């Protein structure tokens, strides 16, 4: 008996010892939850789990209940986007990134099927601080009541715009990241379309003579911004990791001719739109060879040969239309000069002819572009390549900065012809595809300097890849160039039939 009792004690001691040796990351589900009270007597819960001696909560349930956006990034980390704040938790990492600061966690977040358990105190304090709307915390009964903001717009601020100002910012903070796009209404009005936003009872800044005037268009879910000055360009950035959107506005210079001319009477012009002059622009030229093929093909030569064929074909088929060439020999012409030639000639269409190249030698096919903010990285890269020519330009010219981040840039002159440009671009592409039987890579949009100042529908044609050995051989042939040229003329003809005299 005595021996047995002693053995029993030893067993208990051993048991305790084993318990102590088990690592602290043992977790137990204790059935406890946080209760989240939402408006209208709705409740939802977020499970709690004790990991070691740390109480953890499921961050995903909280985010869902509070309408906080989150996604997993390429590293598998959870990125929570609060307005003006960002929290990143990685499963199994003892560090979190809170608003850009690395924070040591008592234990690593634990990922289960549909939950992410993060240390409770840190998470609760964080959401208490950064969730928009009214949050009331009751730590002991694990309850939180949440009144979401009554508006998706949290704040709207604008720089003053005086007659001396040539640029200004408008900042908009939303409750969560939403897709937004910018459209030009006329020379002094912009529409910022935010399809999912509800301004609720948001109070828009009061109108003062040196600030933009804001109004919400409920029907189209857009913010109408009226400016005290004529606009030259506008760029929308955001949302970044917070829910802030910044609108950068540039204003037209009234008399100074250093920037591109901004035609302001375009609306009136458009009504009696008579397509009597077409501008054909052979890309590159002179000291700028453009892309160079493996067997020594210069893009500038192909572009010129094709452009001249367009000219010949136009004279034959559309003799009533005046064709203006930006170059008809191997000369260098700066990009800004090309659109200036087009505007001076009072051109009604602008077609810039190019041939493509890519690092990937397999890339092949046809593309057309119109001027609008690039939506894809690839489109942006093409624009970058075609814009590189400015390094050859001796005279300093004030090109707007094209960031490599997603951006929206509206050229005042081009924005009015977005629809027509896109239409012409797709007509040319379809025609080329049919005539050449080469692969169509689609119509895309990007920020090409050469198209930027044109006060007319303007497109850029990439007639094939000279970086692809097979296609290089093809694009050098006269027959191929003729097919491209004919497709361009077909498209112009169709365009004229469609738009001539349109109001």
Shortest Å distance, C-beta 291 to Zn ion: 6
Task: Using the structure block, give the residue that is written with the tokens 């087009």.
Answer: 342
Comparison of 83 and 283: residue with beta carbon closer to Zn ion: 283
Number of residues that bind Zn ion (CB under 5 A): 4
The DSSP bridge partners found for residue 27 are 51
Whether residue 89 contacts residue 96, with contact meaning beta carbons closer than 8 Å, is answered with yes
Comparison of 85 and 374: residue with beta carbon closer to Zn ion: 374
The DSSP element (H or E) to which 48 belongs, if any, is strand 42-51
Shortest Å distance, C-beta 365 to Zn ion: 16
Q: Taking CB under 5 A as the rule, does residue 354 contact Zn ion?
A: yes
Q: Taking CB under 5 A as the rule, does residue 373 contact Zn ion?
A: no
Comparison of 239 and 290: residue with beta carbon closer to Zn ion: 290
- The structure tokens listed for 439 are 């692969």
Residue 394: φ, ψ to 5°: -80, -45
Other Cβ atoms closer than 10 A to 99 = 16
Other Cβ atoms closer than 10 A to 163 = 9
Comparison of 217 and 328: residue with beta carbon closer to Zn ion: 328
Shortest Å distance, C-beta 461 to Zn ion: 10
Task: Using the structure block, give the residue that is written with the tokens 């268009």.
Answer: 217
Shortest Å distance, C-beta 303 to Zn ion: 7
Whether residue 166 contacts residue 254, with contact meaning beta carbons closer than 8 Å, is answered with no
Comparison of 166 and 381: residue with beta carbon closer to Zn ion: 381
- The beta strand positions in 73-196, using DSSP E, are 78-82, 85-89, 95-98, 101-104, 110-111, 116-119, 134-138, 143-147, 153-158, 167-174, 181-186, 189-193
Comparison of 341 and 412: residue with beta carbon closer to Zn ion: 341
Single residue of 290, 365, 431, 464 touching Zn ion by CB under 5 A: 290
- HSE, CB side, 13 Å, CA atoms: give it for residue 132: 24
Comparison of 386 and 486: residue with beta carbon closer to Zn ion: 386
Comparison of 146 and 298: residue with beta carbon closer to Zn ion: 298
Shortest Å distance, C-beta 356 to Zn ion: 8
Shortest Å distance, C-beta 331 to Zn ion: 15
Shortest Å distance, C-beta 45 to Zn ion: 59
Stretch that binds Zn ion, among 70-78, 183-191, 285-293, 477-485 (CB under 5 A): 285-293
Stretch that binds Zn ion, among 234-242, 312-320, 321-329, 351-359 (CB under 5 A): 351-359
Using CA atoms, how far apart are residues 491 and 494, in angstroms rounded to an integer?
Answer: 5
b/e code 260-294 from CB counts within 10 Å (16+ = b):
bbbbeebeeeeeeeebebbbbbbbbbeebbbbebe
Stretch that binds Zn ion, among 154-162, 207-215, 247-255, 279-287 (CB under 5 A): 279-287
Shortest Å distance, C-beta 334 to Zn ion: 14
Stretch that binds Zn ion, among 131-139, 283-291, 315-323, 412-420 (CB under 5 A): 283-291
Using CA atoms, how far apart are residues 463 and 185, in angstroms rounded to an integer?
Answer: 33
Comparison of 61 and 326: residue with beta carbon closer to Zn ion: 326
Q: Which of 328, 354, 376, 377 is nearest to 466 (CA)?
A: 354
Stretch that binds Zn ion, among 197-205, 305-313, 350-358, 391-399 (CB under 5 A): 350-358
- Contact pattern for Zn ion over residues 383 through 402, marking x by CB under 5 A: ---x----------------
Comparison of 241 and 462: residue with beta carbon closer to Zn ion: 462
Comparison of 361 and 385: residue with beta carbon closer to Zn ion: 385
Q: Taking CB under 5 A as the rule, does residue 463 contact Zn ion?
A: no
- Residue count of the chain, please give it: 503
Using CA atoms, how far apart are residues 414 and 342, in angstroms rounded to an integer?
Answer: 13
Shortest Å distance, C-beta 106 to Zn ion: 58
Shortest Å distance, C-beta 379 to Zn ion: 14
Task: Using the structure block, give the residue that is written with the tokens 């608003």.
Answer: 99
Q: Which of 381, 395, 398, 396 is nearest to 448 (CA)?
A: 381
Whether residue 319 contacts residue 492, with contact meaning beta carbons closer than 8 Å, is answered with no
The DSSP element (H or E) to which 27 belongs, if any, is strand 27-28
Residue nearest to Zn ion (CB): 354
Single residue of 149, 177, 212, 283 touching Zn ion by CB under 5 A: 283
- The beta strand positions in 303-409, using DSSP E, are 322-325, 349-356, 366-371
Other Cβ atoms closer than 10 A to 415 = 22
Comparison of 154 and 475: residue with beta carbon closer to Zn ion: 475
Shortest Å distance, C-beta 198 to Zn ion: 45
Q: How far apart are the first and last CA of the chain?
A: 109
Preceding amide of 239 cis, omega within 30? yes
Comparison of 331 and 434: residue with beta carbon closer to Zn ion: 331
The DSSP element (H or E) to which 217 belongs, if any, is strand 213-217
Stretch that binds Zn ion, among 34-42, 91-99, 272-280, 348-356 (CB under 5 A): 348-356
Stretch that binds Zn ion, among 135-143, 253-261, 288-296, 417-425 (CB under 5 A): 288-296
Shortest Å distance, C-beta 355 to Zn ion: 7
- The structure tokens listed for 203 are 């109070």
Stretch that binds Zn ion, among 27-35, 349-357, 434-442, 488-496 (CB under 5 A): 349-357
Shortest Å distance, C-beta 429 to Zn ion: 16
Q: Which residues bind Zn ion (CB under 5 A)?
A: 283, 290, 354, 386
């Amino acid at each position: 008996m005595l021996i047995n009792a002693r053995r029993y004690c030893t067993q208990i001691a051993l048991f305790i010892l084993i318990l102590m040796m088990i690592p602290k990351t043992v977790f137990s589900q204790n059935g406890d939850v946080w209760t989240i009270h939402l408006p209208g007597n709705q409740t939802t819960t977020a499970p709690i789990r004790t990991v070691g001696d740390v109480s953890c909560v499921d961050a995903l349930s909280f985010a869902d209940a509070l309408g906080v956006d989150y996604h997993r990034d390429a590293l598998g980390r959870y990125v929570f986007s609060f307005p003006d704040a960002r929290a990143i938790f990685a499963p199994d990492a003892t560090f979190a990134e809170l608003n850009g600061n690395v924070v040591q966690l008592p234990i690593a977040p634990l990922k289960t099927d549909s939950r992410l358990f993060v240390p409770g105190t840190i998470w609760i304090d964080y959401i208490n601080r950064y969730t928009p709307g009214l949050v009331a915390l009751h730590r002991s009964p694990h309850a939180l009541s949440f009144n979401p903001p009554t508006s998706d717009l949290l704040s709207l601020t604008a720089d003053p715009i005086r007659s001396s100002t040539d640029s200004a910012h408008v900042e908009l903070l939303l409750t969560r990241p939403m897709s937004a796009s910018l459209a030009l209404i006329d020379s002094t009005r912009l529409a910022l379309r935010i399809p999912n936003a509800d301004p609720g009872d948001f109070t828009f800044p009061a109108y003062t003579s040196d600030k933009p005037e804001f109004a919400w268009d409920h029907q189209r879910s857009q913010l109408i911004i009226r400016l005290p000055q004529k606009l030259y360009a506008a760029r929308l950035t955001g949302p970044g990791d917070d829910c802030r959107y910044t609108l950068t506005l540039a204003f037209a210079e009234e008399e100074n001719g250093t920037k591109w001319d901004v035609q302001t009477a375009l609306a009136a012009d458009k009504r009696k739109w008579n397509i009597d002059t077409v501008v054909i622009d052979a890309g590159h030229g002179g000291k700028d060879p453009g892309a160079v093929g493996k067997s020594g093909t210069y893009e500038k030569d192909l572009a010129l040969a094709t452009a001249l064929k367009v000219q010949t074909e136009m004279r034959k088929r559309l003799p009533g239309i005046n064709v203006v060439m930006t170059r008809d020999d191997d000369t260098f012409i700066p990009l800004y000069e090309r659109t200036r030639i087009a505007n001076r000639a009072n051109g009604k269409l602008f077609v810039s002819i190019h041939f493509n190249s890519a690092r990937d030698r397999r890339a092949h096919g046809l593309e057309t572009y119109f001027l609008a903010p690039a939506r894809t990285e690839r489109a942006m890269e093409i624009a970058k390549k075609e814009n590189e020519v400015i390094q050859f330009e001796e005279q300093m010219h004030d090109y707007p900065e094209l960031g490599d981040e997603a951006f929206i840039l509206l050229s005042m002159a081009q924005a009015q012809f977005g629809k027509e440009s896109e239409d012409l671009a797709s007509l040319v592409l379809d025609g080329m595809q049919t005539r050449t039987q080469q692969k169509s890579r689609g119509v895309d949009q990007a920020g090409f300097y050469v198209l930027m100042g044109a006060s007319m529908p303007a497109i850029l044609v990439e007639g094939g890849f000279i970086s692809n050995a097979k296609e290089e051989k093809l694009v050098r042939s006269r027959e191929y160039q003729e097919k491209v040229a004919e497709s361009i003329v077909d498209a112009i003809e169709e365009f004229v039939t469609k738009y001539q005299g349109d109001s």
